[in-house]
């Protein structure tokens, strides 16, 4: 399950959307809402990505699996950026490896990513192995993104939205 603020935070922190795109998204929801939520207004007025992340994360202080979900979604968004040609395989492996500290990420460890990176540097083809492991993360992130961007999203859902 992913709550909307977690999706927003991950989309921004992974650079899947830039600051202008996330502000435009928040503005669209604010315009549709009878009484917009404060965190959306704060995002709309943010001057940098860290403001957006801070305001989004302020909504889910009591979220149980926050670090696990944030890291997994971010890794999925990074992998989507790789699949879309926005970052290289080297950049993806580096970003994913830096995010994995064992306590938040289940599956590959930072050591596994270091080994993959070294194999890549030696000229080995690791793309298939990377894809077989990270594609499911990208699929989850894509579903979260699609839900976040859908036209039917409205104020009532912003309070309770969860994706399974």
Helix or strand run (H / E) with residue 3: strand 2-3
* pLDDT the model gives residue 164: 47
pTM, entire model: 0.81
Helix or strand run (H / E) with residue 163: strand 162-163
* pLDDT the model gives residue 161: 44
* pLDDT the model gives residue 162: 46
The DSSP output letter for 18 is -
The answer to whether the beta carbons of residues 12 and 57 sit under 8 Å apart is no
pLDDT tens digit at each of 164 positions of the chain: 677 888 888 899 899 999 999 999 999 988 888 888 888 898 999 999 888 888 777 776 555 666 667 788 889 999 999 999 999 988 888 888 777 655 455 556 667 777 777 887 888 888 888 888 889 889 999 999 998 888 777 555 555 444 44
Q: Which of 80, 104, 89, 93 is nearest to 11 (CA)?
A: 80
* pLDDT the model gives residue 112: 72
């Amino acid at each position: 399950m992913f709550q909307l603020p977690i999706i927003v935070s991950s989309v921004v922190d992974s650079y899947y959307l830039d600051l202008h795109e996330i502000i435009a998204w928040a503005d669209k929801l604010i315009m549709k809402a009878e009484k917009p939520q404060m965190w959306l207004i704060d995002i709309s007025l943010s001057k940098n990505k860290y403001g957006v992340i801070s305001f989004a994360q302020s909504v889910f202080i009591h979220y149980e699996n926050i670090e696990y979900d944030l890291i997994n979604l971010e890794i999925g968004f990074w992998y989507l950026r790789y699949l879309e040609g926005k970052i290289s395989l080297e950049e993806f492996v580096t970003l994913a490896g830096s995010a994995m500290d064992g306590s938040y990420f289940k599956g590959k460890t930072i050591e596994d990513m270091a080994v993959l990176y070294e194999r890549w540097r030696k000229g080995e083809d690791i793309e298939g192995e990377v894809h077989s492991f990270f594609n499911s993360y990208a699929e989850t992130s894509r579903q979260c993104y699609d839900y976040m961007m859908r036209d039917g999203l409205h104020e009532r859902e912003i309070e309770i939205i969860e994706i399974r």
